[in-house]
Amino acid sequence: MFFLITTVIFFSNSIFIFLLISTVFYWFSLRFTKVDFYYKFAKLNSRVATIILFIFLLSRWIQNGYFPLSNLYESLLFLSCIILFVYQFIEYKTKSKIFGAILLPLVLFITGFADLTLPLEMRKASALVPALQSNWLMMHVSLMMLSYAILIVGSLVSILFLIIFLSLSKDSEISFTSYGSYEEYARAENIEIRDLYNVFLDPLDKMSASKQKELRESRKLEFLYNLDNWGYRTISLGFPFLTIGIIAGAVWANEAWGSYWSWDPKETWALITWLIFAAYLHLRLIKGWVGKGPAILASIGFFVVWICYLGVNFLGQGLHSYGWLT
């Protein structure tokens, strides 16, 4: 028992330390853009933290004989692991350090909450309660956690988009909603895309004030197009997982309780979450809206996901005994 407790503490502390170091150096890399070491060191520490977290969860799975989602502590770590994998994939595709800078603090907060707030008894693996002794555990709970993680990433990207979008000039707001992509905007405005990257290399005092403003505003628009695109793509990926997870949960509920839907707090907020992101995708796919409107809806979705996943656990116990705080 002492060895198990020591192992939990060792893994938890290691993950927290590597995430903290990575977060700090991601922020340094944004401030000191010409120093590559900060960004490379931040990436290295985040990769190490991800590996340690993955090994920790895998070891609990092998040791206990069931998927490591038996309690709130394991689900928080599983959520953190998925967010780390998703952010690293987006960072690899976009080559942008901004995703690590905004997502790692969230993972740091989640793991810190799991290790510092939850008592040690809740962090130890225990025998599954009868309601969870089902093959549906891995199917339903893992899909829900996967959808939460992906939707949290997509909605957090939308929050960042919204913050930057609100700082645009009125003309730039109109430009953003008028063109389907940044390349289309650059061609229409006769802007050379290569010049947008040179703005950080060429001495600004050699440019006119109007040229500086044009390049900076164009660079901001390019960044916004990328954020809008990745927020939309991420939410589009998370929504099907949420849908399948809810359906799997309904089938499991009928098997366990004799009813597909009982309006349990978890079920109710899962439905609200589904409706929020369904409305977001409807605006994007059917209405063709981009920019502020869908971003506001996705930003609301960020908080709704957290209420669904964690918030209702503080309000009172329903049929979902899994993960409740006492």
The secondary structure of 50-108 as a DSSP string is HHHHHHHHHHHHHHHSS-S-SSHHHHHHHHHHHHHHHHHHHHHHH--THHHHHHHHHHH
Domain that holds residue 79: 1-127
Q: How many CA atoms lie within 13 A of 262 on its CB side?
A: 17
Question: Poorest-confidence range of 92-106, 168-182, 242-256?
Answer: 168-182
CB-based contact 67:140 (threshold 8 Å): no
Q: Is residue 167 part of a domain?
A: no
| pLDDT confidence band for 128 (50 / 70 / 90) | low
The yes-or-no verdict on residue 195 having pLDDT over 50 is no
C-alpha distances out from residue 53 to 41, 75, 110, 254, Å: 18, 12, 13, 34
Q: Which of 16-25, 78-87, 258-267 has the lowest mean pLDDT?
A: 258-267
Whether 73 is in a domain gets the answer: yes
pLDDT given at position 275: 96
Q: Using CA atoms, how far apart are residues 130 and 148, in angstroms rounded to an integer?
A: 25
The pLDDT value given to residue 320: 59
115: closest CA among 21, 43, 19?
19
Hey, is 18 helix, strand or coil? helix
* 84 domain residue, yes or no: yes
Crossing angle of helices 209-257 and 72-94, in 10° steps, is 140
**Average pLDDT over the chain, rounded to whole?**
81
Q: Classify residue 180: in a domain, yes or no.
A: no
Cα separation of 217 and 168, whole Å?
A: 8
Q: Determine the pLDDT at residue 202.
A: 46
Q: How many CB atoms lie within 10 A of CB 323?
A: 20
> Is position 165 within any domain?
no
Going by pLDDT thresholds of 50, 70 and 90, the confidence category of residue 88 is very high
| pLDDT over 70 at 117, yes or no | yes
Q: Which of 20-24, 162-166, 208-212, 293-297 has the lowest mean pLDDT?
A: 208-212
| DSSP H or E run through 297 | helix 292-309
Say how many domains are in the chain. 1
Question: Do 83 and 153 meet the contact criterion of CB atoms below 8 Å apart?
Answer: yes
> Is 312 a domain residue?
no
Task: Supply the pLDDT for residue 210.
Answer: 62
Residue 104 has pLDDT above 90, yes or no: yes
- The answer to pTM > 0.75 is yes
Please state which of the ranges 75-79, 144-148, 209-213 shows the lowest mean pLDDT: 209-213
Segment 279-286 shows an average pLDDT of 91
Structure confidence at residue 322 as a pLDDT band (50, 70, 90): low
The CATH number of whichever domain residue 32 belongs to comes to: 1.20.120
Mean pLDDT over 206-218 rounds to 63
- Classify residue 303: in a domain, yes or no: no
pLDDT at position 199 over 60: no
105 domain-assigned: yes
Give the tens place of pLDDT for each residue, 221-233.
778 888 888 999 9
